[in-house]
Structure 1
Amino acid sequence: MSSIPRSTRRRVLKALGVGGTAALAGCTAPSNQEATEVSTTDRATPQEPSMNPAKETDVDRIAADPTDIPEPIDRDEPETVEVELTTKELVAEVEPGVTYTYMAFEDQIPGPMIRVRKGDTVELTITNEEGNSMPHNIDLHAVRGPGGGAEASMVAPGETETFRFKATYAGSYIYHCAVPNLDMHISSGMFGMILVEPEEGLPEVDHEFYFGQHELYTTGEAGEEGHHDFDFESMKAEDPTYVLTNGEKYAITPDVHGAPTMQVGDTARVYMAVGGPNLDSSFHPIGSVWDEVWPQGTLESDPHINVQTTPVKPGSTVVATLHAEVPGAIKLVDHALTRVARKGNMAVIMREGDEQPDVFDPEP
C-alpha cells in the first residue's frame, strides 16, 4: 500500500479533529433433528454484567443479504459506470443482547458488490456521512493508481470525493478502508468486493450469492451481553472475540436472518471476500464440494475442480461454483472449526426438492 503524502496527512489530521453452535455447525447433530435443520440457538452462558449496557441500534441488521447483488453484465462494449458509496458508523447487534459500533460502506457488511466489465471506466464517489467521528476512504484492489484510490478518496465527516479509474483486468477483488488504523476499520466492517467481469462475461448459473468474512476484536467475551468496544490489544495478539460471516454471529442461517435457497438441480456461483484484517479463511461447503474454484478470484485463469476446502487470504477473494444434487443444508464455514463452534462463523444455503436416494440415502 502506498504511503500517504503530506497533503493527505494534513487532511487526515484535520478530519480527526472533527470528532476527535453447539453441534459444531451440524458436523454432528442430535438424532431427533431433521437433516435440514441448523442449530444456531446456543449462546454463551450469560455472565455477570461487567461492561456498558447494550446500546440502541441504528439498524435492525448489519448483515448484507447474500442475494442482493447486481445482475450479470449483458453488453459487449465498455461503458462509464457511476458508483456512489457512503461510509457509515452505526450501532448494530453482533448477536442478541450484544451491540457494537460498526463501520461500513452503506449500512451492510460486506459492503455492496460493485460489478463492472473489463474495459469499463468507473467514476466512484465516496461520501463520509455527516456525524461520523473518523475519516474514511476506499482502496480497491482493482485499481491501478496510488493507494488503489485511497489517496484520492480521503474524506472527513460530511465531505465527498470523486475519482475515476479504468478496470484494466478481470477478476474479483476486495475493497476496504485504508486510513491510519486501517486494521481497526476493516475489522469493524469496512470491506467489500468489486467484480470485474471478463469481456466475454461469466457462464450462466441459476443463482449467485455474496458473502464476506472478518474478525471482530472487542472488550467483552463472545456472548457477554452489553455494548462491546474495540480492543486494540486483542487485535495485536490476533485473538478475535468473533469471526463472522456478513458481520453477525450466524447471520445467514434459518434461525437468524434466514438462508437463501436453491432447488435440486440448480447451479450457484458463490463470491467470498475476506476482509480480515488478520486471519485466513479455509472456506468449505459442508455437505458438498466446490465444483469449480477460481483462487484469488482469478477469473481469466482455469478453475480448480472438485475442491473440498479453498484458502482465502485476508485482503483477497474467491469465486466458486456448486450445484444442488440432494435436498438439505449446505453450511458455509471456515474449516478452522473453533471459529464456527465458538466464534460465530457460519452461513447456510438451503437445497430444496425431492430426495435423491441414488446419490444419498439416509435410511437405506
Structure 2
Amino acid sequence: MLESTRRRMLEALGIGSAAALAGCNANDAPQASDTATAGTESSMAQSTDTDRVAADPTNLPDPVDWNSPQTHEVTLTVEEVTAEIEPGVTFDYMTFDGQIPGPMVRVRQGDTVELTMENPPENAMPHNVDFHAIYATGGGAVATTAAPGSENKMRFQARYPGAYIYHCAVPNLDYHISAGMFGMILVEPEDGLPEVDRELYFGQHELYTNKGVGEEGHHGFDMDAMANEQPTYVLLNGEKYAWAAAGRGPVEVQQDETVRVFLVDGGPNYSSNFHPIGNVWSRAYRDGGLPEDQDPEEYADKNIQTMKVPPGSCMIGEMETPVPERIKLVDHALSRVARRGLMAEVDVLGEEDDDIYDPDFDGSENDGPRYG
C-alpha cells in the first residue's frame, strides 16, 4: 500500500494554496522535475517500457444495468513510460494505467465513486486527477495530489449525467495532459442510454516535441512549442494512426450495427472537428451532454456531419452501418490527418447493397432524372 502523503506533498511542492495545487498557476511551484523530463532528447530512439500506449477502443466498461445507486471502488495508477509515437520515434509519456486515453469510468447518476490515485515510486513527478463530473475544489485535484511513492483518495457522488473529461491538474498541467494524462468518466442517466450493438472509445490530444513529424530518434517535450500552440503530432489514442490500417487497426464492426463512439478531447489546446468519413453521426450529444428528465434519443441532435469538441470536453456520437465500407474517423481540420497523425479506421463487414451504394455503377440502367 502506497503511503498517503498529502501534507508532505504540499510541503514538498512549496505550495501554500489549494488554487495553485489545482493547476491554476504554473508559476507557483518548482518545475525542476518537469523541466528535466521535458528536455530529454537523443539522436537515437530509446528502449521502450511498453509495446503501446494506445488504448484499445473496444475495451470499455459495459453499459449500466443497475437500477439503484451503487458504490464503485476505482483506482487510477499513474505510469510514466517510454513508448513509440510511430516506428523509430520514441517519447516519454505520462498516462493513467499505461494507456491513452485513460480507462473509462462508467457509472449511473446518483452512484458514489471511491477513488484511489496511485503514484508509484518509480515515477519522477507528482500527479493528481481532476474530474469534470463532480462538485469539488479542482475537481478533486487537491485531494488526490500524490508524490512518487504515495497515493491519495477521495469519494464523490456523480450527481449530473453526461460524458466528462478527467485529467491531471498539477502545475504544468498542459504538459501532463499533452503527454497523455486524460480520460473520460461517463455518468449515465438513471434510465441509462439507448441500447446499441457496439461501442468505441477514443481520445484526441496534441504532442509538442523538439523534432519534426517522423524524425527518428527520441523526442523530448518542447515547452515553447506548447506555449505557441504549434504541435508536432495531433493524435487519437496517443500514437500516429494508432487504430488505422497503417497502425493497429482497423477496428471491425458488422453490417447493420449501431455503433456508439465516445471521444474525449484532452487538448490541451486544439478543438476537434470530429467527423466519420463515409458516414454521419445519426444521433449525437454535443459536449457529452445527457438529459436528466428526457429520453436521450429525443434529446440528441440528428444526422450531424461534424461535431465540434472543445479541449477539455467530450462527445457521444452514433453511426448506422447499412453497407460494407471503411469509415475514417478524423478531425476535419484535415492537415492534422494528412500531416500530424490523427486518424482511426472502422471496417464494416457484410454484403453489398447496391440500392444504398453501388461502387460499380456505369449508368447503363439509369432511367431516372439527370442533373447538371
Q: TM-score, normalised on structure 1?
A: 0.88
| Contact in 2 for aligned 1:192/1:273 (Cα 8 Å) | yes
Structure 2: distance between partners of 1:347 and 1:57: 23
- What is residue 40 of structure 1 aligned with on the other side? none
Q: How far has the Cα of 1:10 moved from its partner?
A: 2.7
| Equivalent position to 1:219, from 210, 224, 234 | 210
SS at match of 2:175: helix
| Contact in 2 for aligned 1:51/1:220 (Cα 8 Å) | no
- Residue 209 (structure 2) pairs with residue 208 (structure 1): no
- Residue 330 (structure 2) pairs with residue 339 (structure 1): no
- What is residue 62 of structure 1 aligned with on the other side? 53
1:164-243 to 2 correspondence within 5 Å? 164-243=155-234
Deviations 1:212-269 (A, max 9, x none): 0000000000000000000011101101000000000000012311222111111111
- What is residue 96 of structure 1 aligned with on the other side? 87
SS at match of 2:142: coil
Q: Which has the larger radius of gyration?
A: 2
SS at match of 1:56: coil
- What is residue 151 of structure 1 aligned with on the other side? 142
- Aligned AA for 2:116? T
SS at match of 1:168: coil
Tell which deviates more after alignment, 141-150 or 293-302: 293-302
- What is residue 323 of structure 2 aligned with on the other side? 326
Tell which deviates more after alignment, 255-264 or 165-174: 255-264
Structure 2: distance between partners of 1:143 and 1:157: 25
- Aligned AA for 1:182? L
- What is residue 262 of structure 2 aligned with on the other side? 271
Structure 1's 338 and 132: CA in aligned 2 closer, same or farther, altered over 3 A?
same
| Equivalent position to 1:315, from 312, 315, 333 | 312
SS at match of 2:288: coil
Q: How far has the Cα of 1:17 moved from its partner?
A: 9.5
Q: How far has the Cα of 1:12 moved from its partner?
A: 2.9
| Contact in 2 for aligned 1:89/1:104 (Cα 8 Å) | yes
| Contact in 2 for aligned 1:16/1:135 (Cα 8 Å) | no
Indicate the percent of aligned positions where both proteins have the same amino acid.
54
Structure 1's 347 and 102: CA in aligned 2 closer, same or farther, altered over 3 A?
same
Structure 2: distance between partners of 1:155 and 1:12: 11
Q: TM-score, normalised on structure 2?
A: 0.86
Structure 1: distance between partners of 2:32 and 2:211: 28
- Aligned AA for 1:316? S
Structure 1: distance between partners of 2:114 and 2:356: 49
Deviations 1:290-335 (A, max 9, x none): 0011001011161110000010000000001011011111100000
| Contact in 1 for aligned 2:264/2:314 (Cα 8 Å) | yes
SS at match of 2:190: coil
Q: How far has the Cα of 1:6 moved from its partner?
A: 9.7
Structure 2: distance between partners of 1:10 and 1:190: 24
- Aligned AA for 1:181? N
Structure 2: distance between partners of 1:202 and 1:221: 42
- What is residue 129 of structure 1 aligned with on the other side? 120
- Aligned AA for 2:305? Q
- Aligned AA for 1:203? P
SS at match of 1:150: helix
Structure 2: distance between partners of 1:51 and 1:104: 22
| Contact in 1 for aligned 2:250/2:346 (Cα 8 Å) | yes
SS at match of 1:89: strand
- What is residue 353 of structure 2 aligned with on the other side? 356
Deviations 1:42-72 (A, max 9, x none): xxxxxxxx94210000000110000000011
| Contact in 2 for aligned 1:129/1:157 (Cα 8 Å) | yes
- Aligned AA for 1:144? Y
Structure 2: distance between partners of 1:230 and 1:18: 14
Unaligned 5+ segments in structure 1 are 21-49
Tell me how many residue pairs correspond in the alignment: 331
- What is residue 84 of structure 1 aligned with on the other side? 75
Structure 1: distance between partners of 2:43 and 2:120: 26
Deviations 1:86-112 (A, max 9, x none): 011100000000000000001100000
**Cα-Cα RMSD:** 1.9
Deviations 1:73-128 (A, max 9, x none): 11101011110010111000000000000000011000000001100010000100
